Structure 1
Amino acid sequence: MTHSRPRIHDLLEANSLAPRRDLGQNFVADPNTVRRIAYLARVGPADHVVEVGAGLGSLTLALADTGADVTAIEVDAGMVPVLRDEVADRENVRVVEADAMRLDWDEMLDPSIKWVLVANLPYNVGTPLVCDILDFVPQVDRILVMVQREVAERFAAAPSTSAYGAISVKAAYWGTARIVGIVPSTVFVPRPNVESALVEITRHTPPTTDAVELFTLVKTAFGQRRKMLRKSLSGIVAAEQFEAAAVAGTSRPEELDVDAWCRLTEIVHGR
């Protein structure tokens, strides 16, 4: 049983709670939506799921219904007791009160197990959290998160499109990103002003190019994305290095795919 809109309102009122704007709390109040997310997550009894921003447990209950082992993380101390009550009869759910942006992930998630991150992420932490997971938490093998539609489009963007940016390169370096669904604002309490989208990122073996060197170069270039690379990377990349990497210095950063960025990084660092 997942939470309906009346159930969300009843839980908030009964516990003298309200959605916190500072935490970006927007609760999913539509059972069909959370069941759809659980279905798209493709998890079952043999899987280990970590959920960030579990809130009142709408998505947590849907994930628990799949039979997967669920670690539900919630930072709001007021919500945690309610969440624990809502999942008290679910032996496959563990509730953890913690800030996901400050977690020791190796301590939280057994590195010997492959995990799936499934979450309705607050808009204010969606991008940095996913980027941190990609960079530092290899035990999370697959990600399915609901974020602001614009953010989802950036993660999944192809080169030479308006949404393509530094986080698109990061996602492509670590995995394959795709948008698997659009979620209207009407399913949330409170209702946000923007649409949400579900983005899936599945890890693959990354290129051998050093990630820190690569992302430093990419971030520098996209910091001046309207400029040609020979301008935005002046003093960092010489004309002959562009040529050696088969990259036109007249290109703009959004024209380079991850392979081109890797070639350029290798040349710049003398490899």
Structure 2
Amino acid sequence: MAELYQHRARKRFGQNFLHDAGVIHRILRAISAKDSERLVEIGPGQGAITEGLIDTGAQVDVVELDQDLIPLLKLRFGLKPNFALHSGDALKFDFASLGSPEQPLRVVGNLPYNISTPLIFHLLSFSGIIRDMHFMLQKEVVERMAASPGGGDWGRLSIMVQYYCRVDYLFTVGPGAFNPAPKVDSAIVRLTPHTELPHPAKDAALLETLVREAFNQRRKTLRNTLKSLLSADDIAACDIDPGLRPEQLSLANFVALANRLHTLQNAAGSGEPE
């Protein structure tokens, strides 16, 4: 009966439906879900990956924004005891309502390009209740996540994702695996939140602010791009050359700068000398 609900991919939702059985199998094998686990699939579309997840016996919650897809998903999976559908926007969804540190979530999604970065930042705020995340993303986004310092891909996304997670670039997926076929390659990435942060910041929000400021004008030196937050002397006090460009700094360097800023702000707030 699914043919009664033929659905055309919507451009405004950035929809490209996965149909390649080989790719679907490879994704399911990478996730390797167990029946004792709880998975959340963001944007299940027509259920290409959903079906395989449900067949593992795991509890599968899906979050879908497109109201036209809801009847199809209910028709295909509504009677499955381990399936639950949440109609809404994943960018506003409270993932803490489904998981806990005792039973962390495993998150899966074929994410549209236009929401991938803000959605990942939203999910990182729930990193304490997420075991891992497997995403299909535009290849260049995955390359930025997995980047190392010194290259053009290294930036805000790389730093903040790697602050919270280990990043594993799993494999590339060509346009032909989708309908309609996108104009770019995609890639599967696994993000695994750290059980202990390798470089803990005193204030993660301050770290994000500093990183954003640093990369707003990435061709400029730290002395110029961070001048509203830190002086050249403060940067040098962290054993970092103020003449470097932001892309030359490691995650540990950025955390050191953010911690310096945190100390200075607290000292200023209390009226005490640094």
- Give the TM-score normalised by structure 1: 0.91
Q: 1:46 aligns with which of 13, 22, 36?
A: 36
Distance between the aligned counterparts of 2:260 and 2:159, measured in 1? 18
Distance 2:126 2:81 in 1: 29
Where does residue 242 of structure 1 map in the other structure?
235
The equivalent residue for 1:55 is: 45
1:42 and 1:251 mapped to 2: Cα distance? Answer: 43
Name the SS for the 1:54 alignment partner. coil
Aligned CA RMSD, in angstroms, stands at: 1.7
Please give the alpha-carbon distance, in whole angstroms, between the structure 2 residues aligned to 1:79 and 1:137: 28
- The one-letter code matched in structure 2 to 1:208 is P
SS at match of 1:78: helix
1:1-271 alignment runs, 5 A limit: 11=2, 14-110=4-100, 112-204=102-194, 205-206=196-197, 207-209=199-201, 210-270=203-263
What is the TM-score with the length of structure 2 in the denominator? Answer: 0.90
Q: Deviations over 1:26-84 (max 9, x none)?
A: 11011221121111113211211100001110010121222221111111111011011
Contact residue 78 and residue 84 of structure 2 kept, 8 A: no
Residues matched between the structures, number: 261
What is the percent sequence identity of the aligned residues? 33
Distance 1:67 1:226 in 2: 50
Structure 2 unaligned runs (5+)?
265-274
Residue 19 of structure 2 contacts residue 178 of structure 2 at CA under 8 Å; is this kept in 1? yes
Paired residues of 2:98 and 2:105 also in contact (CA < 8 A): no
Distance 1:235 1:125, change over 3 A: closer
- What SS does the corresponding residue of 1:116 show, helix, strand or coil? strand
Q: Unaligned stretches of 5+ in structure 1?
A: 1-9
The whole-number CA distance in structure 2 between the counterparts of 1:194 and 1:252 is: 30
- CA deviations on 1:158-199 (whole Å, 9 max, x unpaired) are 111111110100011101112101011101011111110011
